[in-house]
Amino acid sequence: MKFGTKAIHAGVHPDPATGAIMTPIYQTSTYVQTSPGQNKGYEYSRTHNPTRTQLQDALAALDNGKHGLAFASGMAAIDCAIKLLQPGDEVICTDDLYGGSYRLFTKVYAPYGINFHFVPMHDMTAVEAAVTERTKMIWVETPSNPLLNVIDIAAAAAVAKKAGALLVVDNTFSTPYLQNPLDLGADIIIYSLTKYMGGHSDTVMGALVVNDDELNEKLAFYQNSCGGTPGPQDCFLVLRGLKTLHVRMQRHCENGRKVAEYLNSHAKVEKVFWPGLESHRNHAVAAKQMRDFGGMLSFVLKGDKQADAIAVLEKFELFTLAESLGGVESLSGHPASMTHASIPAEQRRKSGLSDSLIRLSVGIEDAEDLIADLKQAIG
């Protein structure tokens, strides 16, 4: 199937009991058994739920994977993946990753003896140099949040394979519409389904997608044992969102290009971070592994003053100042004080995340209105 057809049909089927074309919300905690251990495939909804099963199958299909696992949040999905590690293991991570991931790694798991090394990944030389005999996982976020750095997934996969490590790719910014990391050699894909996959700013969820049966068995064991699973209502909302993923992402990409090009030519803008610009570092890699360049971008004003950035954020009318991203509406954010506040200032600045950086999630409104909002806010 082509992607649009797959988004609507793959992994899902009409309800066998009623013929309902939309997967029903199976709002139940438990299931009748005819005899101990004899059931219709479902015993308890932390372990399995028919609505969640449909969502997991759909997620796997969109990424050309075999197995999908849904979680109550993106962080719960990340937490599950890290449980594959043991004390003494080492993880090589993108140095400008999402602040919530950094907090989980350094504040929750580092005290248990798992070591995280944050390196720039625009050049695989730095990644190769960080590999040791204890390296068990390479953690890639591409494009990264919020600097939109692009990492060569196939090259990272080669390094991981040589090291005998798992390659994990956070594909939240791209979605399977723009790139499919499993096809490029990744072992695990991570999503915050809260963002583009759900797409309507009305649910919080996460997911993992894998191909390997043994790896899926381990992750599913942790998913069930630790219990960070989503309810059927949220699964229903994301299933609904997936059906329009392709048309929404196309519009996000179109608007993202128009906004990026406007900002790139603005007299008061110093730098724009968007993978579709030819001036963007590793634009060539993005053009090779992505089908388009998405609706996420960030920029810095000339003078690089935080007060100027905050003044712009306060003037926005359509680019609503709020956490999160990927909804149909346009959002703006100040990573240093919002999404990445948990990262120490020294670490943020080292990775290039200045205190004046503004991040935009470009929605699917009319681009002319979005540009007019930028014009009045920046001046």
- Residues labelled as active-site residues: 46, 98, 170, 195
- Burial of residue 162 (number of CB atoms within 10 Å: 0-12, 13-18, 19+): exposed
Buried b / exposed e over 20-58, threshold 16 CB at 10 Å, is eeebebbeeeebeeeeeeeeeebeebeebbbbbbbbbbb
Beta bridge mates, 137: 91, 166
3-state SS assignment for residue 271 = strand
3-state SS assignment for residue 320 = strand
Q: How far is CA 230 from the centre of its chain?
A: 17
Tokens read off for 13: 């089927």
- Asked if 6 and 61 touch (Cβ cutoff 8 Å), the reply is yes
Nearest to residue 324, comparing CAs of 289, 357, 353, 363? 363
Distance, in Å, from the CA atom of 74 to the CA atom of 258, rounded to the nearest integer, reads 29
Distance, in Å, from the CA atom of 26 to the CA atom of 59, rounded to the nearest integer, reads 19
- Which residue has 């992505």 as its token pair? 290
Distance, in Å, from the CA atom of 346 to the CA atom of 190, rounded to the nearest integer, reads 27
Distance, in Å, from the CA atom of 343 to the CA atom of 355, rounded to the nearest integer, reads 12
Distance, in Å, from the CA atom of 310 to the CA atom of 183, rounded to the nearest integer, reads 41
| Cα-based distances in Å from 154 to 169, 183, 236 | 11, 9, 33
Tell me, what DSSP letter sits at residue 106?
I
Nearest to residue 220, comparing CAs of 230, 231, 205, 208? 208
> What letter represents residue 49's amino acid?
N
- Asked if 191 and 206 touch (Cβ cutoff 8 Å), the reply is yes
